[in-house]
A and B are shown apart, each in its own frame.
Chain A
Amino acid sequence: DAGVIQSPRHEVTEMGQEVTLRCKPISGHNSLFWYRQTMMRGLELLIYFNNNVPIDDSGMPEDRFSAKMPNASFSTLKIQPSEPRDSAVYFCASSSLGDTEAFFGQGTRLTVV
């Protein structure tokens, strides 16, 4: 397995534009997590899914953020409209149900100018 795959690796966009981040979890994993990492706030859990169903989205900063998981092999995190304060590294991770280790993707470095 190639591991968790995220795209794009880098994204530079202008304020107000829509941004879509993509994630392909490891095949067979039931849980998918979206994290945001900044110097100031560390690794924040934004949302996670179990069996494609969103379980907890309390970490999603505001309505500009949305996440979907239409099937077991794909998830998106969308920001519309984007703002400079959204600049961060966004990680997707997947794991099996039952408190097992999380495998992280390489991350998407987002810069909003």
Chain B
Amino acid sequence: GQQVMQIPQYQHVQEGEDFTTYCNSSTTLSNIQWYKQRPGGHPVFLIQLVKSGEVKKQKRLTFQFGEAKKNSSLHITATQTTDVGTYFCAGGYGGATNKLIFGTGTLLAVQP
């Protein structure tokens, strides 16, 4: 079946340092979505990537979708304490099925 793995599981950084999380799917994806979940909260959509090799930016966040559409990454430049939370990628398996499988998540802790 489809599986989506993320590394690392946990990352602790000093405020101002950069952070990257990586996502890998066992099968080719239709699209990749990224979500952020604050402690005690629910996942909130950040962005969707659809095209092979696509790169998108949101302020200090940079998202990439691999050429083979099986992997993705999220990079945060100069982390802030507000970045704390768990970042999930979610693999979309396409079209009429609309199936969305979440990755294992990366918990980011930022020390002021």
Contacts and interface: CB of A to CB of B under 8 A. Distances in A.
Given A58-B1, A99-B50, A104-B43, A50 B102 contact: no
A42 B102 contact: yes
Given A35-B102, A48-B100, A99-B94, 13 more contacts: A42-B103, A42-B104, A43-B105, A45-B100, A56-B99, A91-B43, A95-B98, A97-B98, A99-B92, A99-B95, A100-B48, A102-B45, A104-B42
Contacts of B31: 99
Contacts of A102: 33, 43, 45, 90, 100
A82 interface: no
Interface string B3-45: 0000000000000000000000000001101000000001111
Contacts of B100: 33, 45, 48, 93, 95, 102
Interface in A20-35: 30-31, 33, 35
Q: Is the interface of A mostly helix, strand, loop or mixed?
A: strand
Contacts of A99: 30-31, 48, 50, 92, 94-95, 98
A55 B98 CA distance: 9
A101 B88 contact: no
A39 B50 CA distance: 29
Interface of B: 1, 30-31, 33, 42-45, 48, 50, 88, 90, 92, 94-105
Determine chain B's interface SS by DSSP, over half rule.
loop
Interface of A: 30-31, 33, 35, 42-43, 45, 48, 50, 55-56, 58, 91, 93, 95, 97-107
A1 B34 CA distance: 23
Nearest to A44: B102
Contacts of B42: 91, 104-107
Nearest to B94: A99
B45 A103 contact: yes
A2 to B, nearest CB: 14
